[in-house]
Amino acid sequence: MTLTPRVRRGIFAASVAAAALALPTAALASSAGTSTAANTTAVHRCYQSELRAWLGIPGGAAAGSTYYELELSNVSSQSCTLYGYPGVSALTSGHQDGSAADRTASHPKTLVFLAPGATSHAILQITDVYNFPPSTCQPVTAGALRVYAPGDYASLIVPFSFTACGKSGPVYLHVSATIPGTGIPGYST
């Protein structure tokens, strides 16, 4: 049987497509026993018990707001991942002050791989609550931030004193998605 040039090109294109589909499968199979940044499929999501939350200080200020790096550090002996936005709210004596943080799209959501000792960042914007009418905000002094890792239902507490809205309504906290960062200062495994 003689193959025409058109049929040969079709067979060649089909074999290239099949190879392209098989290559990622073979690569995953060969690295199944490792736990590297390139192979995070076997690494679990980070849980509250494996993390410490803290603020990178000093914060930068602009246009009636102060910006902080909200840090989530892996303090466990296992690698884990974060994906999405942390939940953030202000606390006074264990009670939430005003509205929880709104999400900002300053960084796209990306899978963040955290090896032991690694840290991820999210940008936390705290708006000066005196920009809101006192009757709608009811300013109070918050004593901490409650932080939820993306996808977790248990919170971390970050001691931090700042002026917050005591009344729900005005959104004075904004948080970005987590992004890769560096290690914890002074931490070694």
DSSP β-bridge partners for residue 92? 95
Joined together, the tokens standing for residue 120 give 């991820």
Q: Are residues 118 and 25 in the same domain?
A: no
Joined together, the tokens standing for residue 8 give 């040969």
Report if residue 5 sits inside a domain.
yes
Our count of domains for the chain comes to 2
User: What is the value of pTM for the model shown?
Assistant: 0.73
Q: Give the C-alpha separation, 76 to 84, whole Å.
A: 20
Report if residue 41 sits inside a domain.
no
Q: Are residues 79 and 170 in the same domain?
A: yes
Is a pLDDT exceeding 90 seen at residue 127? yes
- What are the residue ranges of helices labelled H in 31-161? 134-137
Q: Are residues 27 and 74 in the same domain?
A: no
Q: Are residues 60 and 127 in the same domain?
A: yes
Q: Are residues 110 and 68 in the same domain?
A: yes
Predicted confidence (pLDDT) per residue in 42-58, tens digit: 799 999 999 999 998 76
pLDDT value of position 33 = 31
Mean pLDDT of 106-128: 93
DSSP at 168:
S
Is a pLDDT exceeding 90 seen at residue 165? yes
- Residue range(s) defining the domain that contains residue 53: 48-183
Q: Residue 147's Cα: distance from chain center in Å?
A: 11
Q: Are residues 142 and 174 in the same domain?
A: yes
Q: Are 82 and 76 in contact (CB under 8 A)?
A: no
Report if residue 10 sits inside a domain.
yes
Q: Which long-range contacts (CB under 8 A, 24 or more apart) does 38-41 make?
A: 40/79, 40/81, 40/111, 40/113
Q: Are residues 12 and 69 in the same domain?
A: no
pLDDT value of position 60 = 77
Give the residue among 77, 79, 78, 73 at the shortest CA–CA distance from 37: 79
Report if residue 189 sits inside a domain.
no
Q: Are residues 110 and 160 in the same domain?
A: yes
Q: Are residues 92 and 7 in the same domain?
A: no
Q: Are residues 19 and 80 in the same domain?
A: no
Largest CA distance in the chain: 87
Q: Are residues 55 and 103 in the same domain?
A: yes
Beta strand 139-148 pairing with 155-165:
antiparallel
CATH number of residue 83's parent domain? 2.60.40
Predicted confidence (pLDDT) per residue in 85-103, tens digit: 999 999 998 899 999 999 9
pLDDT value of position 41 = 54
